[in-house]
Amino acid sequence: MSSRTTASKTCAATIVSIALVGMGMANAHAGTSGSLALTSDYLFRGISQNNQEPALQGGIEYAADSGFYIGSWGSNVSWLSDTNVSPDSISNSLELDFYGGYRGKFGESVGFDVGALYYWYPGDYPSGFNSPDTGELYFGISAGVFAAKYSYALTDLFGYADSDGSGYLDAAVNWEFVPTWTLNAHAGKQWIENNEDFEYVDWKLGVTKSFEGGFAIALAYQDTDAEEALYTNRYGNYLGEDTVVLTLTKTF
């Protein structure tokens, strides 16, 4: 258990954000992309991050011709301030992610993606509160409509004590069965070191419709087998329950 070093992290994140924005402006024709989304519920690995309320999200990425890339993504959240542990002492409403890696191919048909990602939750926390900030390494592989990805935590995972070394395995199918319509299926397993009671499986089945101009709408049914007593917040909401999520996205 350790206190947060908020000032230094704020400075570091600000520098990274400025660098990303500058890179995007300077290389707008060399691989810069971004997205804005409005979703009815921000589910991360099957667990609601915003007390089952809507979330506004956005991101930007620069990808070089060589395969290297760097990016940032953010969303409003409330899961930390909604916790049953010292809720009145926690002030957090934002998640900011920073990532970078390399994408390439094995032969002609199998793609791979390797990189690192840091989840940052700026805010005020009580003395001794284990930081929710998390660093992960990931490796993904894809072939046709199939994809799989494994993430490995280098730090404690989202505040769980002594949980470095935790892992998440994600398997997905994204099949464009007719033009502009894509079937989305996913199953994942979250392992949490030294916190086995909190481990769970999540799954999703949905469809995405894309439109001209970079717009898309997605509808998905998602569920988990997470222990209800462990994933219920101070408002009595079970954050791992089955739910239908509607998401509107604009890419640019």
- The pLDDT value recorded for residue 30 is 52
CA 120/CA 75 separation, integer angstroms = 11
Digit-coded pLDDT (tens) for 145-161: 999 999 999 999 999 99
Q: Which letter does DSSP use for residue 157 in this model? A: S
12 belongs to a structural domain: yes
- The pLDDT value recorded for residue 35 is 97
- The pLDDT value recorded for residue 63 is 97
171 belongs to a structural domain: yes
SS (H, E, C) 64-130: CCCCEEEEEEEEECCCCCCCCCCHHHCEECEEEEEEEEEEEEECCCEEEEEEEEEEECCEECCCCCC
In sequence order, which ranges of the chain are alpha helices (DSSP H)? Answer: 6-26
Q: List the domain range (segments joined by +) for residue 104.
A: 6-251
DSSP bridge pairs for 70:
62, 100
Phi and psi angles of residue 18, each rounded to the nearest 5 degrees, phi first? -60, -40
- The pLDDT value recorded for residue 85 is 72
The domain total for the chain is 1
CA 129/CA 123 separation, integer angstroms = 12
- The pLDDT value recorded for residue 241 is 98
- Which residues touch 51 (CB under 8 Å, ≥6 apart)? 78, 79, 82, 233, 235, 237, 239
Digit-coded pLDDT (tens) for 102-121: 999 999 999 999 999 999 99
Q: Strands 32-39 and 55-63: what pairing?
A: antiparallel
Cβ atoms 85, 98 nearer than 8 A? no
Give the CATH number for residue 243: 2.40.160.40
Burial pattern 156-189, b for ≥16 Cβ within 10 A else e, equals bbbbbeebeebbbebebeeeeeeeeebebbbebb
- The pLDDT value recorded for residue 161 is 96
Residues of the chain with pLDDT below 50 are: 1-29
| Residue 19: both structure tokens together | 């660098």
pTM: 0.87
1 belongs to a structural domain: no
